[in-house]
Chain A
Amino acid sequence: MNATIAMITFRAMLGRRRALLLLLLPVLLLVLAAALRLSDFNDLDTSAQVMQRFALATLLPLLALIAGTGVIGPEIDDGQIMYVLTKPIPRPVVVVTKYAVAVVLVTLFAVVPTLIAGLLLTGTTAGMASAFTVGVLVGGIAYSAVFVALAVLSRNAVTIGLLYALVWEALLGNFAPGAKSASIQQWALSVTDALTPASVIDSTVDLAVAGPLLAAVTVAGVLLASYRLRSLTVASAE
């Protein structure tokens, strides 16, 4: 971990209007949760649906994508990464620092709002709020690692990430059950499923499988990113 790199990355991610976009998404979740609470539509079924579809399946991948690719992608694209890479800092330290920043951002803008929305919707019933918070957290940790690795590997990281999150996980999951099991979203849902006794949440993957897979994907993502950053060709921008 390198404090200076972390600080620069935070400034790049949150500076000027950029924080606004990050803030807008969780605010919508909170507004929706508050509206449902006020209009008394917050029974356990509806709440679980809202939390699963909005917080876990939409908000989390989008925010992890913005944070994960945003911490390193733009710097590689415009060549600024050279100023970091030419310092005597081991490349794994650079990657781990950037990754940690991404995880902190996801925690701030996705995990905390999920907890608040969960408490707004269900209170402490069936441990739903805390179960979803933990699910979103572990999902965010894995997603961020994958997207950081993607950003180092490819210029089209954001689009590839979108294709994975929206086409593979959401669209193909409806047709091919196999694709559904091989998705971070399902693994995170399985963690949530294990933590709450509510029967409305049903995941297709067993926790004994999902847990190790989440850990493996996270470690593989960070290792791959560090490995690829060891020899990076910096081309001219576009």
Chain B
Amino acid sequence: MSTSTIHDIGYRHYEGRRSGRGYVLRSLYVHNLRAAWGLGRPARAKVMPFLLAAIMLLPAAGSVAAFAFTGEEEALIPYSSYAVTLSVIISIFLATQAPVLASREIRFQVVPLYFSRPVGHLDFVLAKLGALATAAFALTAVPVSVLYFGGLVAKAPDSSQHLLDYLAGLVGCGLFALVLSAIAMPVAAFTPRRGLGVAAVIAVFMISTTVVAIVQEIAEARTNFTLQGWAGLFAPFNLVDIVQVRLLGAESSSAGVPSGTAAGLIALAICAALVAGSVAVLYRRFRKAGLS
């Protein structure tokens, strides 16, 4: 008695070990991380990410060189303010690379091909977001590490304090990467047209930063320092900087920061909400794109 169906035409079944969900997640993550840096793609795709990474490294290298020659500690850029100082470069990196991860598959309508395999929607989205965040983290963490190890080699005084600052700076870089990617990915996923996604992401970053800067300046001129501080919650770079200053003990590098640890906790909660909201939006977006 055979219970076979019409599909079973007698080929041997696969009975070996299946790699499982972790393997799927890891493969997608590695693939997207490579794509974010243009690895495994033509040279044309590598130019921009590596050019931007080189620009990111320049101030760190210059700062270490200046410190080595003059021995003045002010020449070293503080670790926590590195990402804020170079926010424009980080914005451009995310604006060019977020569409590579988020909108290319939607544009060419190949998302259903992923989901015809045992790939969960949530895994797919988490892998993409994680890959972009990791790429952005590398972009900022490498120059910060150059600063730290350069300072170490050039014998900067007070090395234990430097180590603490460096570790706090790395945590800050991670938070920057996570929050900025969480903002960039959904925007890119909803603007699949080539070129438009880049402009949309950069518009979100630049416009929010400019509006907040103008509001903060006006508030400062009117000596309304409470408003000046809290306005920072509405621009991504200021938001993470508030967390850095209030929870990680960094020195303030943006215009105004609200006082008290509570402000840092609120900013951290907003960061968490942004990431969670981003995952939810991306989940719905790719589920819809996977149906067609």
Contact = CB atoms under 8 A, between A and B. Distances in A.
Interface of A: 17-18, 21, 24-25, 28, 32, 36, 41, 46, 49-50, 53-54, 57-59, 62, 65-66, 69-70, 73-74, 77-78, 151, 155-159, 162-163, 166-167, 170-171, 238
Interface in B187-240: 190-191, 193-196, 198-200, 202-203, 206-207, 210-211, 213-214, 217-218, 221-222
Interface stretch (B6-14, B64-72, B88-96): B88-96
Interface in B19-58: 44-45, 47-48, 55
B117 to A, nearest CB: 23
Nearest to B89: A167
A170 B91 CA distance: 14
Contact of B92 (A50, A54, A78, A166): A166
Nearest to A157: B195
Contact of A156 (B47, B191, B193, B221): B47
Contacts of B202: 62, 162, 166
A49 B214 contact: yes
A58 B205 CA distance: 11
SS class of chain A's interface: helix, strand, loop or mixed?
Answer: helix
B239 to A, nearest CB: 18
Contacts of B198: 158-159, 162
Given A21-B199, A41-B222, A238-B45, 10 more contacts: A21-B191, A21-B203, A28-B211, A46-B218, A58-B206, A62-B203, A66-B196, A69-B195, A158-B198, A162-B202
Given A32-B214, A78-B194, A158-B195, A46 B206 contact: no
Contacts of A41: 218, 222
Contacts of B221: 46
11 contacts: A32-B214, A53-B210, A53-B213, A58-B210, A66-B203, A69-B195, A70-B199, A158-B96, A158-B199, A162-B202, A238-B104
A59 B203 CA distance: 9
A24 B200 CA distance: 10
Interface residues of B, number: 33
A50 B104 CA distance: 36
A171 B206 CA distance: 13
B195 A70 contact: yes
A25 B203 contact: yes
Going nearest first, the 6 A-B pairs with the smallest beta carbon separation are A158-B198, A66-B199, A58-B210, A159-B96, A158-B195, A166-B88
Given A41-B218, A58-B206, A62-B202, A159 B211 contact: no
Given A74-B194, A156-B47, A163-B92, A58 B207 contact: yes
A155 B45 CA distance: 10
Contacts of B48: 156, 159
A98 B97 CA distance: 27
Given A41-B218, A46-B218, A53-B214, A170 B88 contact: yes
Nearest to B42: A238
A25 B207 contact: yes
B211 A171 contact: no
Contacts of A73: 194-195
A74 B200 CA distance: 15
B214 A167 contact: no
* Highest count of chain A CB atoms <10 Å: which of B45, B55, B190, B196: B196
A46 B213 CA distance: 12
B197 to A, nearest CB: 9
A159 B194 CA distance: 12
A174 to B, nearest CB: 11
A175 B45 CA distance: 30
A151 B200 CA distance: 17
A159 B200 CA distance: 12
A54 B211 contact: yes
A198 to B, nearest CB: 18
Interface string B110-135: 00000000000000000000000000
